[in-house]
Amino acid sequence: MITITTLQEAKEYLGDCAAALGNFDGVHKGHQALISRCVEIAREKGLEAVVFTFLNHPANEVAGRNIIKNIMTLKEKAEAIEALGVDALVSIPFVDSVRTSSPEAFARDILAGQLHARHAVCGFNYSFGFKGAGRPEDLKAYGEKYGFDVTVIDEFDIDSHAVSSTLIRRRLAEGNVADYERLTGRRYAIQGKVIVGQKLGRKMGFPTVNLALNADMALPLNGVYITEIYVNNEKYHSVTNIGNKPSVGHFTKNAETHIFGFSGDLYGKDVRVEFMDMLRPEIKFASIEDLSAQIEKDCLAAKKAHGIE
């Protein structure tokens, strides 16, 4: 999959295409169904399969601040889209020239003119053009005028709930990482380089690897989670605390992972932590002794969940 970040590049490098339209934050099962249908149409018609989205969330750009937190990094989003068989990802900044385009100008100049779209696929609630004035029925009308067909994908439900990025953010905020997996088909995960912490866990007999968390991302509720961690492509059972460590002070929210059956120095190493389920919310304990006793209980509970002693 190639990645294109300007409309000029799209005009120069893309051939006739079927374009999946949307923000696709979280690339959940509804998004996957939409993009997969676009790929199917592209293959049927001999077109390139393209996903068209924005680098920055339109709502944040309009508001001038981050009112909506991203579920995935741009890299994670691209990898999830590529896995669906897409030929090209067109991910451009939501700049004023795009924001102020009328719905018709968006369809004529961007979709038909610069993306060379011959088919567009969107969700039932897709909006486009200045202030989101365009709707799927408008897109169909413009498609007839400017030479592209339109397929509208119905709402995607799981257990009578419409799957959406908003629902995923809500489930994360509740600590419901098991639902995240059910809605997206993959585990919630964080990854990055291990940083130096306060080494409090080590002093209590539970050494941890520490990861910084990006406050601009949608993050889980503070608490203790059953996790698995990947170190040098090797998987280890683990337990992870997300939070501010209220029992020992007040710190920036981070992730501390205790790895079962592992010893070694991981400072500066890249790791990936995948979340399976929540054990309990974060608690402020009256003493370090109480905290240590609870950590031991958490480790026993996590080991039981992993099927290890």
Delimit the CATH 3.40.50.620 region(s) of the chain. Answer: 2-161
Q: What is the mean pLDDT of the chain?
A: 90
User: Which has more confidence, 200 or 172?
Assistant: 172
Q: Residues 228, 297: contact at Cβ < 8 Å? A: no
User: 71 CB contacts (<8 Å, ≥6 apart)?
Assistant: 25, 26, 165, 168, 169, 172, 217, 218
pLDDT digit string, tens, across residues 11-40: 999 999 999 999 999 999 999 999 999 999
Instruction: Check pLDDT > 70 for residue 296.
Output: yes
pLDDT digit string, tens, across residues 239-248: 999 987 654 4
Structure confidence at residue 250 (pLDDT): 61
In whole angstroms, give the CA distance from residue 305 to residue 309: 10
Instruction: Check pLDDT > 80 for residue 54.
Output: yes
What is the mean predicted confidence (pLDDT) over 80-98? 93
pTM of the complete model: 0.90
pLDDT confidence of 202, banded at 50, 70, 90? low
Amino acid identity at 256: E
Distances from the Cα of 134 to the Cα of 102, 111, 200, angstroms: 8, 13, 55
In whole angstroms, give the CA distance from residue 4 to residue 79: 14
CATH architecture of the domain with range 188-306: Beta Barrel (2.40)
Structure confidence at residue 143 (pLDDT): 97
97-101, 124-128, 217-221, 276-280: range with lowest mean pLDDT: 97-101
User: Which has more confidence, 290 or 145?
Assistant: 145
In whole angstroms, give the CA distance from residue 296 to residue 299: 5
Instruction: Check pLDDT > 90 for residue 55.
Output: no
Report which of 198, 296, 222, 284 is spatially closest to residue 247, judged by C-alpha positions: 284
pLDDT confidence of 86, banded at 50, 70, 90? very high
Burial 130-146 (b: 16+ CB within 10 A, else e): eeeebbbebbbbbbeee
- Other Cβ atoms less than 10 A from the Cβ of 283: the count is 14
Instruction: Check pLDDT > 50 for residue 278.
Output: yes
State the DSSP string of the chain: -EEE-SHHHHHHH--SEEEEES--TT--HHHHHHHHHHHHHHHHHT-EEEEEEESS-HHHHHHTS-SS-BSS-HHHHHHHHHTTT-SEEEEE---HHHHT--HHHIIIIIIIIIS-EEEEEEETT--BSGGG-B-HHHHHHHHHHHT-EEEEEPP-EETTEE--HHHHHHHHHTT-HHHHHHHHSS-EEEEEE-B----HHHHTT---EEEE--TTB--PPSEEEEEEEEETTEEEEEEEEEE--GGG-----EEEEEETT--S--TT-EEEEEEEEEEEE----SSHHHHHHHHHHHHHHHHHHHT--
Residue whose pair of structure tokens reads 């004529």 in the numeric block: 108
Delimit the CATH 2.40.30.30 region(s) of the chain. Answer: 188-306
Structure confidence at residue 199 (pLDDT): 56
What is the mean predicted confidence (pLDDT) over 64-91? 92
pLDDT confidence of 3, banded at 50, 70, 90? very high
CATH class given for the domain over 2-161: alpha beta
User: 93 CB contacts (<8 Å, ≥6 apart)?
Assistant: 5, 54, 55, 56
Structure confidence at residue 249 (pLDDT): 47
In whole angstroms, give the CA distance from residue 15 to residue 20: 15
